[in-house]
Structure 1
C-alpha cells in the first residue's frame, strides 16, 4: 500500500508538468493567432475613439447646409433637406432609406389683426411681419419665410375687448375670476411660456373667449432689461414671432393611432375638433412689440407682480378693454407628402433589437437651433460611427438613426 502510494506521488509531478507545458503552448498559439487577426480594443477604448475621431467643423457644415433656406414641412425646401440627410447617411456607409407619408398639414391663406384703443379711436392694423436684418446672411431668403401663424389654428373672425391672461394657465383664469374680470366673449392676450401653446388656446376656449392672441414677452424671451436681441445678441428681436402647432393630437390629427398613408382611412376635422384634438376658436401669434402695444390699450386693475413684464417697463393691466381687437385667420388644409429618413447599422449579436436615436428636420423658418442643431449632431454621430466600424467596432444591437419630418 505504501509502495503504491509512493509510486503515485512520484507520477503526479510528471502529469502536472505536461499539463502546464500544454497550457503554455496553447496560450502562445492563441497570442500568435491573435496577432494575425484584427485587434479589437475594449469598449472603453471605442468610447475614447468616438470622442476623438472628428471635430465640430463637420457638424457646423451640416448645420449651414440644412438651414440655408426656410423649410416648412411639405415644401420643396424640406424635401431638399430630406435628400441631403439621406445622402449624408449613405456617404457614411449606413443603410439609408426614406419612408413617405401623406399627411394633413395647414398653411396660412389670410391673416389680419386690428386694434382700437378705445371706442372713439379708429382701428389700427398690425402688419404682422418679422423684421429682416440686411447683415444676416440668410436675409436673401427672407421672401421664402411663411407668414406667421399657428399650425391647425381654427379659421374664422372674432372681435372683442381685450383681457390680459398672463400665461393662459388654468390658475391664471382662476385669478381673473377672483378679481371679478369677465373673460366670456373677450379676445384674450396671453404670453408664451410655462405651458404648451395649444393648451393656452384651449384654456381660452374653455373660459369662453372668442379668440386668443399669443405674444413673446421680453421678460421671458428678450433677456430682461439688459438683454441684447438679435443681431446684437442671442435673444428674440422685438418683431420676432414664435410659431408652432396648436393641435393636441400627435402626428396627423385625422389618423389617430395609425399611419398616414395615401389610401388610409381618415376622420374629419370636425370630429377631431369635437373630441378636443383641435381648438374651436381662432388664434394668432404676434411679436413682443405688438403684444406690448395691445397691453398699452388696457385699463382695469393692475396685474400682480408675477404677471408683469421686465423691471422698469410698462405696467400691465388686465382689462377688459378699453382696447378692442378684431382678428381674422384663414388657413387651408392640404394633404402633402413628407419624408422620414433613416440610417441603419445592423447589430452583430442581437440584430432584431433596436437602439433608436433621432430628431425632426422640418422648421417653421430656418430652424438653426430647433431642430437642425440636432440634425447636424445626428449626422456627426453617423460619421463617427462609420469611423469606428472601420476600426473593427460592431454594435451589439441594431442602431437606427431617425430624421423625422413634420414634427
Structure 2
C-alpha cells in the first residue's frame, strides 16, 4: 500500500473523531441545559402573589352560606340526604373545574327505629315505673328538622333486664377489673353496667361490659366531663355550648375500621363479604345512651360501697356507688330497636392537576355524614373546603396551576367507624 492510502485513512479517522467530539459536545450541552431548566422549575420558590390572590378571594360569607345549605337537613350515611349532599359537592367541584369522580360503596350500617325509641326503664318489684327514659332529645328549636333518636350504632336489637346494676366509671378495662375486684366477678354476670362517656372509645366500653358478663350497658355524659360549670340552664345549651341534662351522645360502637362486612377491603359490589354473625368487632349486648338528667335518677338506686374519689362525677345529690342489687329490689331494663341494613354511600373526589410535580399529591379532605345536622362536625370543614375549591377554580381561569396535584375528598360514612 502506498503512502497516499495511509494518509487518506488517517485523515478520514481524524475527521470522524472531530465530528464525534462536536456531536458529543453539543449533545451534552443540550442535556445540561434541559437538566438546568428542570432544576429551576423544581426549585422555584412559591409565587407570593398567588398566596395573596388566594387570601384576597376567600369570602367568609360564602363559607357561612355553604354551612347553612349543607346543614339544612340531617344527613346520616346511607340515607337519601347523604346522596343529596354528595351531589351538591360533586356539582360544585365540576363548576370549579375539578376532575370529579363519585365512587359508590355498599356497606353495612345501623339505624334505630324512629317510631319506637330505645328506652331504659327502672321499675319497682310490682312493676311501677320509677323512670322511663324519653328516648328522644328535647327539641330547642321546633323549626329545625327532626334528627335521629339517640342510639349506639351496631349494638343489637333486643330487651334485657336485671335486678343488678353496677357503675364502672369510664368503662376502661382497668375500671372493670377494679369493679370486679370489689364486687366479685360472679356478681357481674347477668347484670347491667352503667358507665360515663370519656377517656376511651364508646364501643370499647360496651365490649368491656360484655366481656365481664353484663347483659346490657348504659352510657351517659357526666357533668364533670360535659358540663364543667354546672347544670343550671344558664350554663348549658342553649345558653352555652355544654351538654344539657336531656342531651344524649349518639355514636358508633363498632371497634373495627372499614365496612364490617369487608374488613380492610373496599366495599365494592364485587367484593367478598363475611357473614354478619361472624363479626367479632360488633357488640353482642344491647346498649343505650341517655342524658345525665335521667342517669341521675337511676344512679340514686345504686347500692354497695361508695366509689373512690377519682370515680366520682359531679351529679348533684348523688353518692356514686359501685352498685349491686338495686335499692328495694328494683329492676332495670334496656330495650332497643336497632337494625342492621346494607346501604349505598359515596366518596366524592375532585382533582386539580399539578403543573411541575403532577405525580405528587396534596390531599385535602373531610367526611360528610353526621348523626344530626353536623354544623361543627363535620360540615364546618366541608363549608371551608368548598370555598377553597371555588377560589382555586377562579384562579385557574386566569392561568393558575398548583405545583403539585391537589386532591379534594368528601368521604362518606365516617361516623360509623371510618367506613
TM-score category (smaller protein): 0.7 to 0.9
Task: State how far apart, in whole Å, the 2-side matches of 1:295 and 1:336 are.
Answer: 38
Q: Which runs of structure 2 are paired with 1:2-401 in the superposition (5 Å)?
A: 42-109=46-113, 110=116, 111-116=118-123, 119=125, 122-123=128-129, 124-133=131-140, 136=141, 139-143=142-146, 145-160=147-162, 161-180=164-183, 182-225=187-230, 228-272=235-279, 276-310=280-314, 314-322=318-326, 324-390=331-397, 392-401=399-408
Scaled by the length of structure 1, the TM-score of the pair is 0.82
**Other structure's SS at 1:172 match:** helix
Could you tell me how far 1:61 is from its partner in structure 2?
A: 0.8
Contact 2:105-2:268 within 8 A present in 1 as well: yes
Contact 2:152-2:288 within 8 A present in 1 as well: yes
Residue 36 of structure 1 corresponds to none
**Other structure's SS at 1:320 match:** strand
Residue 13 of structure 1 corresponds to none
Change beyond 3 A, Cα 1:48–1:324: farther
User: How many residues in Structure 1 have an aligned counterpart in Structure 2?
Assistant: 359
Could you tell me how far 1:320 is from its partner in structure 2?
A: 1.6
Contact 2:155-2:338 within 8 A present in 1 as well: yes
**Other structure's SS at 1:83 match:** helix
**Other structure's SS at 2:103 match:** strand
**Other structure's SS at 1:198 match:** helix
Task: State how far apart, in whole Å, the 2-side matches of 1:286 and 1:340 are.
Answer: 32
Root-mean-square deviation (CA, aligned residues, Å) is 2.1
Task: State how far apart, in whole Å, the 1-side matches of 2:143 and 2:249 are.
Answer: 21
Could you tell me how far 1:204 is from its partner in structure 2?
A: 0.7
Contact 2:169-2:195 within 8 A present in 1 as well: yes
Unaligned runs of 5+ in 2: 1-43, 415-419
- Of stretches 277-286 and 196-205 in structure 1, the one that deviates more from structure 2 is 277-286
Contact 2:90-2:100 within 8 A present in 1 as well: yes
Scaled by the length of structure 2, the TM-score of the pair is 0.80
Could you tell me how far 1:90 is from its partner in structure 2?
A: 2.1
